[in-house]
Amino acid sequence: MTSAARSILLVDDDKFLLDMYSMKFTQAGWQVQACLSVKDALEALRGGLNPDAIAFDLIMPDMDGFVFLEKLREEGLAKNAKLIALTNQSDESEQKKAMELGADRYIIKASMIPSEVVDAIGEELSKK
């Protein structure tokens, strides 16, 4: 793939899922940065990481995905990134809250296989 490879920041406290999604995105030609916590993700972004997309879990210890969205907005981080909530929370109020806080898309992990998640996030980027 060319130097125009897409880049993604994955944020999930589940190491198995994080590794699996990292592998799927890497196989699809993406540059991947993976973080096991919101704190690590924020540090990477404050350090200059500027991904095309950020896929994050909503339910994590310490800081959750909602706090993550608030911090991104407060600090003006990743302004051009597509923000994708990637979660097992199927509750409509959670989805509404994520979208109100700036998420571009809400994907329920159990409803898609990982390669479909890669495709869905790629589609989201194509809408830019």
Q: Is residue 2 assigned to a domain?
A: no
What is the CA angle 24-37-48, rounded to 5? 80
User: What's the pTM value of the predicted model, to 2 decimals?
Assistant: 0.94
Q: Is residue 52 assigned to a domain?
A: yes
How big is the chain, counted in residues? 128
Q: Is residue 46 assigned to a domain?
A: yes
Number of structural domains found in the chain: 1
Residues 6+ apart with CB under 8 A from 55: 8, 9, 10, 11, 21, 84, 85, 86, 107, 117, 121
Amino acid (1-letter code) at residue 26: T
Q: pLDDT for 9-39, tens place per residue?
A: 999 999 999 999 999 999 999 999 999 999 9
- Check which CATH number belongs to the domain holding 25 and give it: 3.40.50.2300
Cα 93 → chain centroid: 19
Look up the domain containing 31 and give its range. 7-126
Q: pLDDT for 32-79, tens place per residue?
A: 999 999 999 999 999 999 999 999 999 999 899 999 999 999 999 999
Q: Is residue 1 assigned to a domain?
A: no
Q: pLDDT for 32-42, tens place per residue?
A: 999 999 999 99
